[in-house]
A = this chain, B = another copy of it.
Amino acid sequence: MADRKTALVISAHAADFVWRCGGAIALHAEKGYEVTVVCLSFGERGESAKLWKEKDMTLERVKAARRAEAEKAAAALGVADLVFFDLGDYPLRLTDEDKFRLVEVIRKVQPAFMLSHSKYDPYNTDHMYATEVALETRMIAQAWGHNPGQKVLAAPQLYLFEPHQTEQMGWTPDVFLDITPVWEKKWAAIQCMEGQEHLWAYYRNVAENRANHFMRNSGGQSGGRKAKYAEGFQAVFPRTVDEL
């Protein structure tokens, strides 16, 4: 138990965890982390255009399809626990009760690190709202007076995963993770997202180009570490180290 390694992803919509940190999930799962993914909504209203263009579509059918896709992708990535909060999207809303439920998950997982969205997103206010919620619930989970007796949360890093159109979101990666060893898993998970096929190649391109950045920042033309696929993340909090 002492050596249990865990991580937690807070995803606004069902597919976000796949595009944005599928590699990190698969890689850490292989390293023995139990990765929990919380999908606050299915993205049923706002991120399922292809499904809604089908005839006689209903909200329940969209949600079911999105759930099935997410479950399949999670399995491909090696997610330990996939939790659907089913709170609705466009707009996503959390009551204090919903937040306390998320705090329960955080405390149960006791993550070594957390992953969520960029701080700003003028295209998709659900995304930045999810990050506000991540920060707020992280704080509540640290409070000794919230549900006294439970194990309180320490100070896990919150990594912001890569948004669409990074520059418009003011998102700047400060760490690149080599996901080459697990690329096949991420690519398989991406292909589970049948409703958003127009994004498959897009995120393969992202992974390839982030690998270029990985190499450049590890030595470039002078012996940079080879990497074929990578993901970028922005850390919210400072690191604490014993060696630079």
Contact = CB atoms under 8 A, between A and B. Distances in A.
A223 B155 CA distance: 9
Contacts of A209: 202, 205-206, 209
Contact of A93 (B96, B142, B176, B213): B96
Contacts of A48: 144-145
B145 A46 contact: yes
Contacts of A145: 44-46, 48, 52, 59, 62, 90
Contacts of A93: 96
Nearest to A57: B148
B178 A242 contact: yes
A152 to B, nearest CB: 5
Interface of A: 7, 24, 27-28, 31, 44-46, 48-49, 52-53, 57, 59, 62, 89-91, 93, 96, 99, 113, 122-126, 132, 135-136, 139-140, 142-146, 148, 152-155, 157-159, 164-168, 171-178, 198, 201-202, 205-206, 208-209, 212-214, 216-225, 227, 232-233, 235-244
